[in-house]
């Protein structure tokens, strides 16, 4: 069972929706997530990584992407949206 409180921080859903189609770098996320600053993005990514929502490839670009758990969360978000209609 996935606890929904991991989606509680303000920026988590914004980051999840930015990552739904492709792997992005930290700089790209900073650019795409409207209104977020470097410190908040860094803290949110650290927390998301700790909770296994995202993974970070340690390449020169440092691509950020969904873990398997993150994909399950995205599926649940879509289902909640469908159920809400």
The mean pLDDT value for 51-68 works out to 77
Residues β-bridged to residue 56: 64
Non-local CB neighbours of 56 within 8 Å, separated by 6+ positions: 45, 49, 62, 63, 64, 65
Does residue 25 sit in helix, strand or coil? coil
Spatial separation of the C-alpha atoms in residues 84 and 69, rounded to whole Å: 23
pTM for the structure as a whole: 0.74
What mean pLDDT is reported for the chain? 80
If one compares 20 and 62, the residue with the highest pLDDT of the two is 20
The mean pLDDT value for 52-76 works out to 78
Among 23, 41, 22, CA closest to 31: 41
């Amino acid at each position: 069972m996935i606890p929904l409180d991991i989606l509680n921080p303000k920026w988590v859903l914004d980051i999840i929706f930015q990552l739904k189609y492709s792997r992005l770098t930290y700089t790209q996320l900073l650019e795409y997530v409207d209104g977020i600053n470097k410190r908040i993005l860094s803290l949110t990514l650290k927390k998301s990584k700790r909770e296994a929502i995202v993974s970070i490839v340690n390449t020169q670009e440092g691509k950020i992407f969904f873990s398997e758990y993150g994909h399950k969360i995205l599926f649940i978000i879509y289902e909640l949206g469908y159920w809400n209609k």
